[in-house]
């Protein structure tokens, strides 16, 4: 009893500390006012391991905390406890419960908690609508090389679950695949542009316009020196096999590729934040692997403090002219500290200006905060990826390292002006989170997406040509229905704006696009169309005109082409899985 009296005050004091709110009820300190952490005593201490069985019973709630490196004063002795009140009588209905409560600790049995509630968070965005070219001919958006939505949905489908519609972002499905665009012949322009116009497979009265961008490639031995800070979530919720263990296995794969000129740091965050590996030359593989192997899950999730410490480490190891990047690996559950997304985004935007980018890697399910991981990567001039397997970890961290880490063009924006004399309607497939105002295209102060070495980006418009029967929008009764005949051989005018990787004012690329429709679409366009229709079906099928999962699989199966790694064939299997999970209307 004396032990209980001594430990209870400490337990409740710990709860007040972990709540992220002052004991007097005042709100947390805004992130922008937090001082840059002094990491002189921030090395990680001993980590108390967490029993995974306890994590499963509590839905990921922590049962152990990281032991702080800083000394903690011993608590004062507890005052004598007042006499215990007389025990309340136990009714017959209460007796079994009371007896079980007494027996359970003795027998080593803990009653099972209810099944954990899925608290995953996805931001809702309305699907891009149809625009009438006569009144709204200009479409402007930022490029996006994220792929996290596709792999996250793949993970759900392979478990037998259809995803929530908000988890599906069409452009991330499309951009997961390599379409084999020819690279630029001269690095003076960091990327090439490929376009194609052909019939839409779901409606022969409409066309698909494909715009593909391919960045120049850089051999691995020519990638500039990299200063990488891996910010690793080691909170209790990361204890499941598809989280921290998968992350550690994925990180081990990158270690043999690190060179002497590279620098690597490991910062961990949970209830406490600390440096697990100070900036270390990349060729010290054994030391780096030992630090990775020592990572253990415990504690709550003070992500904000971890981001601060990671950026401090990145600043100390900054390589001028090199790759400087924080890579945040988490299930996205920020439950302690500053959790306001706007405050986090403001802080990361400040750090971005110093030349340190942020990439996010998502893991696991149940409490996956997709919305925050995506937004932080966007504002941090990085990309977001979801790691659902060791193979995907290798693809992102090893096979596509240059595309993931090395930026060759910044703030890349696309603007398409459709010719009303040829086009009556158009719709951009995906990119809802990257839409820009028309005036933003020429404003260099407006942030946009980056493209990495060897990366390719694809955008697809669904277009309805004049005099076709594919219009979705009825003409106005009293408005002007006839567009002036002008440049009838042009479908649209394409503009791309980007900034060089080493800074400076933006540069402009312009291309008129031919109105000639290809008699037969290429394999790349047919496969990309299948992926777009797959995503639309998962979002509810509003624009796929009854082109169900069975037709998606059939179209993709006939357009596999070269398929190194079997990723395209895997997409066909996913469409088949989705078809078996949900009864579809009869496809046309």
> How is the chain split into domains, by residue range?
131-218+408-471+481-581, 222-404
Per-residue pLDDT, 9: 43
Task: Provide the strand spans (E) within 101-240.
Answer: 131-132, 138-142, 191-200, 203-215, 226-233
Report d(CA 311, CA 36) in Å as an integer: 9
For 423, counting Cβ atoms within 10 Å of its Cβ (0-12 exposed, 13-18 middle, 19+ buried), the class is buried
Nearest-angstrom CA–CA distance, 49 and 64: 7
Distances (CA, A) of 77 to 67, 71, 407: 22, 18, 58
CATH code 2.40.110.10 for 131-218+408-471+481-581? no
Query: 527: helix, coil or strand?
Result: helix
Tokens 């990145």 sit on residue = 314
The CATH architecture of the domain made up of 222-404 is 3-Layer(aba) Sandwich (3.40)
Given this model, what pLDDT does residue 58 score? 36
Distance CA 459, CA 436 (A): 15
- What is the DSSP code string of 259-275? -TT-EEEEEEESSSEEE
CB 532 within 8 A of CB 544: no
With beta carbons less than 8 A apart as the criterion, state whether 150 and 172 touch.
Answer: yes
Instruction: For residue 456, give the nearest of 151, 172, 178 by alpha carbon.
Output: 178
The C-alpha torsion from 135 through 140 and 144 to 150, rounded to 10°, is: 0
Phi, psi of 57 (to 5 degrees): -70, -30
User: What are the tens digits of pLDDT across the range 348-399?
Assistant: 888 888 899 999 999 999 889 899 899 999 999 999 999 999 999 999 999 8
Q: What is the DSSP string of 459-473?
A: EEEEEEETT-S--SS
Q: Which residues contact 344 (CB under 8 A, 6 or more apart)?
A: 31, 303, 304, 307, 334, 338, 372, 376
pTM over 0.85: no
Alpha-carbon span 374 to 398, nearest angstrom: 21
Instruction: Give the number of other CB atoms < 10 A from CB of residue 93.
Output: 7
- Closest listed residue to residue 333, CA positions, set 129, 55, 587, 14: 55
What pLDDT shows up at residue 11? 37
Torsion 525-527-533-536 (CA) sign: negative
DSSP 167-197: G--HHHHHTTS---PPPPS-TTSSEEEEEEE
Strand-pairing partners, residue 268, are 232, 274
Cα separation, 481 vs 475, whole angstroms: 7
- For the chain, residues with pLDDT lower than 70 are 1-42, 45-116, 271, 299-304, 333-341, 480-486, 583-588
* Residue 549: alpha-carbon gap to chain centroid: 25
User: What tens digit of pLDDT does each residue of 513-529 get?
Assistant: 999 999 999 999 999 99
């Amino acid at each position: 009893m004396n032990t209980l009296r001594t430990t209870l005050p400490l337990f409740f004091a710990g709860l007040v500390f972990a709540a992220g709110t002052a004991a007097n009820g005042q709100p947390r300190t805004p992130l922008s006012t937090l001082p840059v952490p002094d990491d002189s005593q921030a090395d990680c201490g001993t980590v108390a391991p967490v029993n995974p069985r306890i994590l499963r019973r509590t839905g990921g709630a922590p049962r152990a905390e990281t032991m702080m490196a800083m000394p903690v004063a011993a608590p004062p002795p507890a005052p004598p406890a007042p006499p215990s009140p007389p025990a309340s009588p136990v009714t017959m209905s209460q007796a079994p419960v009371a007896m079980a409560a007494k027996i359970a600790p003795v027998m080593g049995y803990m009653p099972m908690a209810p099944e954990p509630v899925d608290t995953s968070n996805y931001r809702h965005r309305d699907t891009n609508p149809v625009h009438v070219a006569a009144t709204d001919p200009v479409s402007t958006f930022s490029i996006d090389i994220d792929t996290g939505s596709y792999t996250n949905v793949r993970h759900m489908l392979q478990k037998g679950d259809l995803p929530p519609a908000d988890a599906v972002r069409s452009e991330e499905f499309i951009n997961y695949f390599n379409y084999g665009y020819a690279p630029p012949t001269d690095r003076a322009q960091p990327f090439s542009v490929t376009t194609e116009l052909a019939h839409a497979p779901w409606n022969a009265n409409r066309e698909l316009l494909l715009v593909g961008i391919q960045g120049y490639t850089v051999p691995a031995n020519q990638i500039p020196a990299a200063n990488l800070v891996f910010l690793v979530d080691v909170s209790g919720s990361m204890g499941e096999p598809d989280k921290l263990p998968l992350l550690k296995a994925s990180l081990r794969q990158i270690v043999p590729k690190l060179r002497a000129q590279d620098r690597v740091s490991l910062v961990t965050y949970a209830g406490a934040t600390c440096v697990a590996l100070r900036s270390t030359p990349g060729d010290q593989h054994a030391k780096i692997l030992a630090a990775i192997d020592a990572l253990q899950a415990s504690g709550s999730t003070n992500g904000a403090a971890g981001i601060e410490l990671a950026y401090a480490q990145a600043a100390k190891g900054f390589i001028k002219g090199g790759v400087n990047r924080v890579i945040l690996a988490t299930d996205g559950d920020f439950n302690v500290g500053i959790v306001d997304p706007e405050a986090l985004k403001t802080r990361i935007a400040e750090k971005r200006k110093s030349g340190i980018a942020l990439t996010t890697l998502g893991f696991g399910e149940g409490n996956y905060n997709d919305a925050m991981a995506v937004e932080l990567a966007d504002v941090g001039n990085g990309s977001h990826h979801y790691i659902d397997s060791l193979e995907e970890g290798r693809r992102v961290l090893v096979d596509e390292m240059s595309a993931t880490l090395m930026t060759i063009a910044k703030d890349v924006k696309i603007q398409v002006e459709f010719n009303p004399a040829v086009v009556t309607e158009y719709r951009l497939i995906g990119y809802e989170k990257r839409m820009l105002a028309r005036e933003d295209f020429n404003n260099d102060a407006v942030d946009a997406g980056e493209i990495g070495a060897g990366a390719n980006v694809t955008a697809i418009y669904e277009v309805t040509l004049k005099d076709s029967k594919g219009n979705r929008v009825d003409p106005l009764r009293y408005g002007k229905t006839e567009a002036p005949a002008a440049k009838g051989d042009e479908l649209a005018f394409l503009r791309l704006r980007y900034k060089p990787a080493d800074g400076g004012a933006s540069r402009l690329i312009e291309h008129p696009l031919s109105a000639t429709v290809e008699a037969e679409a290429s394999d790349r366009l047919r496969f990309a169309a299948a992926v777009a229709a797959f995503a639309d079906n998962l979002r509810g099928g509003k624009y796929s005109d009854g082109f169900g999962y069975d037709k998606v699989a059939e179209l993709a199966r006939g357009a596999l082409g070269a398929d190194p790694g079997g990723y395209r064939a895997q997409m066909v299997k996913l469409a088949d899985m989705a078809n078996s999970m949900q009864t579809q209307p009869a496809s046309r």
